[in-house]
Amino acid sequence: MIAPKTIDLSRPRRLHMIGIGGSGMAPFAQLLRAEGHEVSGADARPSETVSRLRLAGIPVMTGLEADLLPSGTEAVIHTAALPADAPPLVRARALDLPLLKYARAVGLYSRDRRTLAVAGTHGKTTTTALLAHVMRRAGCDPSFLVGGSAPQLPPPGRGSSRYLVLEACEYDRSFLHFHPEIAVVTNIEADHLDYYRDVVEICAAFRTFAAQVSGLLVIHEGLRETIARAGGIRARVRTFGTSCDADLRVIDLGASHGVRHFTCGGRAYRLRMPGAHNVLNAAAVLAVATELGIDADAVTAALESFEGVGRRLQVVGSARGVAVIDDYAHHPTEVLAGLRALRDAYQPRRLWCVFQPHQYSRLRRFLHDFAEALSVADCVVIPGIYAARDGDEDRRAVSAGDLVREVQAFGGQAEHIPDFDSIVAFVRSQARAGDVVVTMGAGDVGHVAGRLAAAL
């Protein structure tokens, strides 16, 4: 087998990025440009992200132009979701250009940096952003790659230190391109089953990732058997969790006035992000901060000042006594954690959830679990399913109506309203003072939150 062509990213290059509007690709494009590379990009359609990249000085082609390759391109970096027979990839092969998937390019970029990687089925984006925030506030000034918008972080650029903080996704085994000095694994669950055969295969991939860590591996205490005791781990292992057996024990004291209070390692902390799951994310960051020798008082202040990440229980607006929240949850565990966090934080009169299933394949596999999680809400509205990498069999096998019926079987109130305009009109007419409305999903359902907040 012929090894794929590669490229040295330690000196400026002319790079073209296909799928540049993606959650990982967009910040990487900005980081590469800050490093002195000449970056151009292409995406299927215009978006807010594409507009931001253009404003930052990165030319982005959309529509029919997206199939073109700029003259002088030295290498093509592309999203893992792009099919191998996509026209720009075919053209790049004809020109014998190096073709690098996003994760492989990041792996090349990170080779001469002190890499801190955050992996796990849930909580990667928030934990990565929080770690970058803590390190910046403490003066470490890392470069960072976060798959979400964190208002308190500047646009991705080259930090003054050699640290690189990045989000490490398991899809397509992308995280195996990284060899971090320090890594966090927040949790492991069955997901991305359009790529992995089952949870056993997922755990095997995480073990391979963990074996590539050279310094410190921070894991949730529930992963001891799966990772720490499975053999092949050369890094030191530190666990976090709520039991006495955890190396870093968290005692969650609950919330008051929108602030979460907890102790960890015998020290008190305050966190403005709702939910017990975010307390565990913060504990993982505390373990890394301790390893880096960051001053404890600086960490305490940074945790309390962190305002969260866009589309992670993000407050979009409030009017007529109705709070509108937006969240990226697209797995049953995430949906349940988010809804419980909102009940705890707001104690609403009624909790509304507009949930857009992401992928027919995911809904098909987790239909019962999604329904059970959604039944925590008082009123559930299901729009059309957001298709991504779905085959015909999955599309035929499940529908939004199936999810509605499952939620109702759990005793919940749910209905299917296909289009966003009708959803906004319906919720606006029914929501009352004291209600909380959350939009959830990894697709484009976030548009409903903004429009509803404006319409109330």
For residue 451, how many C-alpha atoms fall within 13 Å in the half-sphere facing its CB? 16
The Cα–Cα gap between 264 and 417 comes to 44
> Taking a C-beta distance cutoff of 8 angstroms, is the pair 380, 356 a contact?
no
The one-letter amino acid code at 447 reads H
> Taking a C-beta distance cutoff of 8 angstroms, is the pair 314, 163 a contact?
no
**Strand 163-167 to strand 99-101: parallel, antiparallel, or no bridges (unpaired)?**
unpaired
The Cα–Cα gap between 161 and 143 comes to 8
> Taking a C-beta distance cutoff of 8 angstroms, is the pair 94, 35 a contact?
no
Verify whether residue 333 is a known catalytic residue: no
In DSSP terms, 115 is beta-bridged to 164
- Give the alpha-carbon dihedral of 121, 304, 34, 28, to 10 degrees: 10
For residue 263, how many C-alpha atoms fall within 13 Å in the half-sphere facing its CB? 7
User: Of residues 115, 124, 186, 439, which has the active-site annotation?
Assistant: 124
Angle at 133 between CA 249 and CA 183, to 5 degrees: 55
Verify whether residue 124 is a known catalytic residue: yes
Q: Which residues contact 393 (CB under 8 A, 6 or more apart)?
A: none
The Cα–Cα gap between 185 and 119 comes to 5
Q: Identify which of 25, 23, 24, 2 has the alpha carbon closest to the alpha carbon of residue 15.
A: 25
The Cα–Cα gap between 77 and 107 comes to 12
Verify whether residue 167 is a known catalytic residue: yes
The one-letter amino acid code at 195 reads Y
Q: Given CA atoms 186, 188, 192, 196 in this order, what sign does their dihedral have?
A: positive
In DSSP terms, 218 is beta-bridged to 184, 238
User: Of residues 115, 125, 127, 439, which has the active-site annotation?
Assistant: 125
- Count CB neighbours of 321 within 10 A: 12
The Cα–Cα gap between 56 and 47 comes to 14
What are the backbone dihedrals phi and psi of residue 413, each rounded to the nearest 5 degrees, phi first? -100, 120
The Cα–Cα gap between 146 and 388 comes to 21
Question: How many angstroms from the chain centroid is the CA of residue 421?
Answer: 27
User: Of residues 73, 79, 126, 167, which has the active-site annotation?
Assistant: 167
Question: How many angstroms from the chain centroid is the CA of residue 445?
Answer: 16
Residues acting as catalytic residues: 124-125, 167
